[in-house]
Amino acid sequence: MQSDIKKVLYSEEQIKKRVGELAQEIKKDYEGKDLLTIGILRGAVMFYADLVRELDRPLHMNFMALSSYGISSSSSGAVRIQYDLEEDISNKHVLIVEDIVDTGLTLSYLTKTLNSRNPKTLKTCCLFDKPARRKVDFRPDYIGFQVPDVFIVGYGLDFAEKYRNLKYIGELMPEVYK
Ligand code: IMP
């Protein structure tokens, strides 16, 4: 697994520190408000678990799953909900927690879909942002790190379902995905 990694971009410590900072920001913004968080399966699972623990305040946790890249490293452009919420989000403060925004197609589709269900507010928190690859205009409300246009894995992020359990974020060797 390690031999497929070109270099470590963010260490476990760097990720932990940034997740803590994001949690402080979010905590301040939602003070005194009920909060429903939605973790997007499966890439955000590590980030989500760490973020909600750092939030250290009452909140609800729920999950959604969206279609991913499968075994390719670029999006097909089509987004599909594979697992939907059973909960009514109308009149609630909703925060989507996602691993990475790349072309923006997934989150722009998801926020449109969830906004049509009339939440009181809807915001997005992404650990990674790859602005160079954007195809639609989308900006998350909270961003952990801006990353260059390279394929990253670890801390929940995969390539063909591998590398999710790395503790750090690594740049994948191009020969693995090209
Ligand atoms: P978007 O719809 O192109 O913004 O893609 C979002 C999804 O693509 C993320 O939730 C990831 O599953 C996947 N993705 C995009 N870039 C990477 C990457 O560098 N590593 C791993 N997954 C990625």
| Pairwise CA distance, residues 93 & 165, whole Å | 31
Tell me what pLDDT residue 67 has: 83
Tell me what pLDDT residue 177 has: 86
Q: What kind of fold does domain 13-150 have according to CATH?
A: Rossmann fold (3.40.50)
Residues with catalytic roles: 102
Q: What is the mean pLDDT of residues 117-123?
A: 98
In the predicted structure, residue 37 carries a pLDDT above the cut 70: yes
Residue 160 phi, psi (nearest 5): 50, 45
Q: What is the mean pLDDT of residues 150-158?
A: 97
Angle between the N-to-C axes of helices 12-29 and 45-55, in degrees from 0 to 180, rounded to the nearest 10: 50
| Pairwise CA distance, residues 2 & 166, whole Å | 9
Which of the four pLDDT bands, split at 50, 70 and 90, describes residue 109? very high
Q: How far is CA 154 from CA 39, 42, 102, 172, in A?
A: 17, 12, 16, 9
Atom of ligand 1 nearest to the CA of 40: 10
Tell me what pLDDT residue 75 has: 58
Atom of ligand 1 nearest to the CA of 102: 4
pLDDT in tens, 79-98: 899 999 999 999 999 999 99
Which of the four pLDDT bands, split at 50, 70 and 90, describes residue 68? low
By the 8 A CB rule, do 131 and 114 touch? no
Q: What is the mean pLDDT of residues 140-147?
A: 98
Nearest-CA residue for ligand 1 atom 3 is 103
Ligand 1 pocket mutation pick from 47, 145, 149, 157 by most atoms within 8 angstroms of CB: 157
Tell me what pLDDT residue 76 has: 60
Task: Please name which of 49, 48, 47, 73 lies closest in space to residue 158, comparing C-alpha atoms.
Answer: 73
CB atoms near residue 143 (< 10 Å): 17
Model pTM score: 0.95
Tell me what pLDDT residue 73 has: 57
